[in-house]
Structure 1
């Protein structure tokens, strides 16, 4: 039984959207010359280690072999997503990856229908499409016309988006089987630990680990901030909401983060809103309202 109710889960995901939006500014403070795969591995590892004492005190550190296999699969999905993102950014722009990411909630809805079939799913498609279209308008504001993205980058990041789309529905599916009774804290700890291990392995294989010598004290402080607020807190809130809110709606809160970033540029940086951006913001709000109204998970899985 999930310890939070429907309203608490949505409020938690609202906080999730705020933390995700703020993480982009914090991540920009870290030395960009350091291998991004290594940085992400450190973020995940720091986040897992921050949870370790809590799990130890609660006596929930033990895990069965089947449970470890399940967490390894989920950790691998995280590693595939982050690894594909950094590989794609070597060949294309952040605008392209941001545009592709708008497909993740839609793909999550597809995986949800496969892994968690239910009669509520068709009700979410219209709202999902509206919110996705709005986010697309917000992201494409920085796109340069006439420039086609690298097919290699699109293919690589496309696989990563599939991995991220499968993460939430598969988490919910495994919670009903090998991870039954696993708390949000334990899910966050083990998934991040395995994700960190896979990313460390990728960094070793690519030679990116050598850039660790560039890490300064300020970089470590920002990494700890990101580990605590942008990684640990957000993944805990994610797993806290899964099972109370439909998984496709949970991941759709990324659209709200996109809207918050746009509002920041309008209100604090003094950028003049464009017509497409205003329309996109309206569509995101309307789509999210529709998703909230139709996002109650089935009582049997809550």
Structure 2
């Protein structure tokens, strides 16, 4: 049984949305000369190691063989997502990756219908489309006329988005079986540890590990920030909410991330709101209100 209430889970996901919004810009600050696979491996490893004292204090038991297999699958999905993000940011902007990420909730809804049948997916489709349309209005702005993003970058990141879309529904399915009773901290630790191992292995094969010599103090600081706030905290909040809120609604909080990014440009950078942005903000608010209402405990539990 998840120890948090429906309201607590949603408040946690509000914080998740704010941290995700900041992560797009933080990831772009890391030197592009360093292999993105190695960067992601270090990021996941740093995040996992931060959970070791908590797990030791809690006396968490080691997972079973079936549980290790489930964690390995989820870790592979994390590796695919984060690796694709760093690789895509070499060739396109944080705005373009943020735009493509708005499709993840719809893809999650599709995976949820496949992996967790019998839910209320149809009832959440319309508010999700409304919120998604609003998010697109918020992020599809400011580009130069006729400037298209790199097709390679978008293809790579699309694969990562598919992996992320499968993560929440598959995690909930595993929690009902081989990972039953696992805490959010244990889920996050093992998933990230396996993700880091997969990426370190890929870095050894590709030779990307050699770029570790190019890591500067500024890169390490940004990696530690990403590990603590954009990875460890967000995935702990994600696992805290999964099972209390429907998986597709959990990941739909990314729409609020686009709203937070826009508010940052309005309030901090002093940019004047555009008409399309105002409409987008309204649609995101209405869509998320409908999604949260449609994901009350009776509808969210599989």
TM-score interval, normalised by the smaller of the two chains: over 0.9
Alpha-carbon distance between aligned partners in 2 of 1:222 and 1:88, rounded to the nearest angstrom: 18
- Alpha-carbon contact 2:131-2:287 (below 8 Å) kept: yes
Q: Give the deviation of 1:244 after TM superposition.
A: 0.2
- 1:105-131, CA deviations, whole angstroms, 9 ceiling, x for partnerless residues? 000001111111124221111110011
Alignment of 1:38-117 (within 5 A): 38-117=38-117
Q: Which runs of 5+ in 1 are unaligned?
A: none
Superposed, which structure 2 residues align to 1:207-226 within 5 Å?
Answer: 207-226=207-226
Equivalent residue pairs, number: 302
- The structural deviation recorded for 1:272 is 1.4
Once the two structures are superposed, the pairs formed by residues 219-298 of structure 1 within 5 Å of their partners are: 219-298=219-298
What is the match of residue 182 of structure 1? 182
> How far 1:88 sits from its partner (Å)?
3.5
TM-score of the aligned structures, taking structure 2 as reference length: 0.93
In 2, the alpha carbon distance for the partners of 1:158 and 1:300 equals 27
Alignment partners' CA distance in 2, 1:125 and 1:228: 33
Pairing 1:159-178 to 2, within 5 Å after superposition: 159-178=159-178
TM-score normalised by L of structure 1: 0.93
Q: Secondary structure at the match of 2:178?
A: coil
Residues 153 and 57 from structure 1, CA distance in 2 versus in 1: closer, same or farther, beyond 3 angstroms? same
2:295 match: secondary structure? coil
Counterpart secondary structure, 1:198: helix
Q: For 1:142, what is the secondary structure of its paired residue?
A: coil
Deviations along 1:157-202, one digit per CA (max 9) or x if unpaired, are 2222111100000000000011011110000000001111112222
Other-structure match for 2:156: 156
CA contact (8 A) 2:48 2:188 kept: yes
Decide whether the 8 Å contact of 1:95 with 1:143 is kept in 2.
Answer: no
* Distance (Å, rounded) in 2 between the aligned partners of 1:108 and 1:256: 16
For residue 3 of structure 1, report the CA deviation from its aligned partner: 0.4
8 Å Cα contact 1:184-1:239 kept in structure 2 = yes
Range with greater deviation from structure 2 (170-179 or 87-96):
87-96
Given the superposition, is the C-alpha separation of residues 157 and 10 from structure 1 closer, same or farther in structure 2, using an over 3 Å criterion?
Answer: same
Q: Structure 2 regions of 5+ residues with no counterpart?
A: none
